[in-house]
Amino acid sequence: MGAPLYKQIAQQIKEEISSGKWNEGEAIPTELHLSELYKASRVTVRQAIKQLVDEGLLEKIQGSGTYVKEQKIEHNIFELVSFTEEMRRLDKEPVNKVLYFQLIQPDDHVRRMLRLGEDDQVFYIRRQRLVDDIPYVLEDTYLPVSLFPNLSYQIMTGSKYDYIEKEVGTKIKESFQEVIPILPDEEIAEALKITRDKPILKIQSYSLFQNGTVFEYSENHFRSEEYKFTLRASRP
């Protein structure tokens, strides 16, 4: 006995999406058109659509229609989680590729953000944050040598926050972030595997320990095809 007709139609719609015929964010044909296309009743088509809405592949927008749901990662800037934690929540296994690991004298901007003295040095680390060989984020991080004298290249191939909280043994309190839309320079575009005319989101942030010490300044460049930033505002 074969699968019910609505499940067969749902599978055909999935194949249309995976083949690229219907793209993310695009409206699918009307129920009437689909019923004619698949030679089924509108009730059956409606069941198929409901199944795909429940699976998160489609979304219905009241008064507008049914759309292929964008499968972008929703990054909650009100929650301080690492890239590794964020990906593992989504059952994805991240990879951190360290492009630069250098001991440097910071420029005035970085020194000011980290509240450092004239002679203080920092570790500068640039990492590609990848999932399935796709670079989602390019991260530039500056960490004071005085706080992390044992930091190494190998440590930065893992989770930075895991290292800080579990190995250094210091609790992280909060992060202050500024979101800036930019066009990437040549090096950033190459690292994210995008063209230079593709807008990205840059987040500048500094993070504090529970005792108020600023321990990190970072500039994260998010690939816009993979991420969307949603904010929820409530009326007082």
Q: What is the pLDDT of residues 17-38, one digit of tens each?
A: 878 788 877 888 898 999 999 9
| pLDDT at residue 71 tops 70 | no
What pLDDT shows up at residue 223?
A: 84
CB neighbours of 169 closer than 8 A, spacing ≥ 6? none
- Give DSSP secondary structure letters for 168-180: I---EEEEEEEEE
Helices (H) and strands (E) in the chain, counts: 7, 10
Q: Which residue has the tokens 């706080």?
A: 147
Q: What is the pLDDT of residues 89-121, one digit of tens each?
A: 667 778 899 999 999 999 999 999 999 999 999
Contact 177, 205 (CB under 8 A): yes
Nearest to 125 by CA among 111, 139, 115: 139
Classify domain 73-229 at the CATH topology level.
Chorismate lyase (3.40.1410)
Nearest to 7 by CA among 56, 53, 55, 44: 44
> Which two tokens mark 176?
């202050």
pLDDT, average across residues 186-191? 95
Strands 58-61 and 65-68: antiparallel
Choosing among 1.10.3720.10, 3.60.20.10, 1.10.10.10, 1.10.760.10, the CATH entry for 5-68 is 1.10.10.10
For the chain, which residues make up each domain, given as ranges? 5-68, 73-229
Q: What is the pLDDT of residues 160-187, one digit of tens each?
A: 888 998 888 889 998 898 889 999 999 9
CA distance 79 to 211: 19
> Which two tokens mark 113?
């953000």
